[in-house]
Amino acid sequence: MDWLFLFETFVSLVSAIPLTLELAATSIVLGAMLALAIALCRLSGIAPLEWFARSYVFVFRGTPLLVQIFLIYYGLGQFPAVRHSIFWPFLRDAYWCAVLALTMNTAAYASEIVRGGLLSVPFGQIEAARACGMPRLMQFRRIVLPLAMRQALPGYSNEMIAMVKATSLASIITLMEVTGVAARIISESYRAIEVFIVAGTIYLTINFLLTRLVHLIEYWLSPHLRQPVPHHLAVPAASALEGDAR
């Protein structure tokens, strides 16, 4: 094992981490908003919206992400209407094509997770909000959405990890993120094992930190699951506070 080569490879790949994180973060945030809209369409009870949501999920979950990236990056430019539209400055850029493909793909998967979270909200909570006179929008913002987020977060964390790994496919449309830089180093050195070991370690570290962050958010959103302070620790603390007040 050539440790000097591994270190040089690590330094080269670290420079591509910001692009990988930017792709993942942008697609996750935009995908979450789109997923919420699709889930609401699915639960709206309005036939055209429900049909659209079902069709969207079926198409984007049933086709490979690689094919979707190719269709967006290479396919949309084949239509004159697209080349002369206001969207062409974005669609001719590989970065935005990758973001669009990743966003639309993750939204299809995440919408089902969000829909499950919305359906898991106890109806008694909604009835209590109605009894208090809350408007429907306030019910959704203050009751339904927070509870649904807490229920959907464990499942949605898997989708976020999948998106971090899916950014590796952006290298096929000339984006030099971690996998793209790794492929370039391999083409120059012909040392695939060492390069991919370093690249895999980087992805593993990113996903480990992401899981820890999600765990902290889940802990913050679930105060009822936190361990209560032991009585023998709570009493001295209360006594100390009382002494300070005096």
CATH of the domain at 202: 1.10.3720.10
Q: Which of 8-22, 111-125, 134-148 has the highest mean pLDDT?
A: 8-22
Identify which of 159, 38, 162, 175 has the alpha carbon closest to the alpha carbon of residue 99: 175
What is the per-residue pLDDT across 200-212, written as a single tens digit (0 to 9) for each?
Answer: 999 999 999 999 9
pTM (two decimals): 0.84
Q: Looking at the 3D structure of the chain, how many domains does it have?
A: 1
Q: What is the chain's mean pLDDT, rounded?
A: 86
Identify which of 180, 208, 164, 191 has the alpha carbon closest to the alpha carbon of residue 8: 191
Identify which of 121, 130, 99, 85 has the alpha carbon closest to the alpha carbon of residue 29: 99
What is the per-residue pLDDT across 176-233, written as a single tens digit (0 to 9) for each?
Answer: 999 999 999 999 888 889 999 999 999 999 999 999 998 888 777 776 666 665 655 5
Over residues 54-71, mean pLDDT: 94
Q: What percent of the chain has pLDDT over 90?
A: 52
Position 245 confidence tier, pLDDT thresholds 50, 70, 90? very low
Cα dihedral 107, 14, 8, 6 sign: negative
Range of the domain at 67: 3-245
Length of the chain: 246
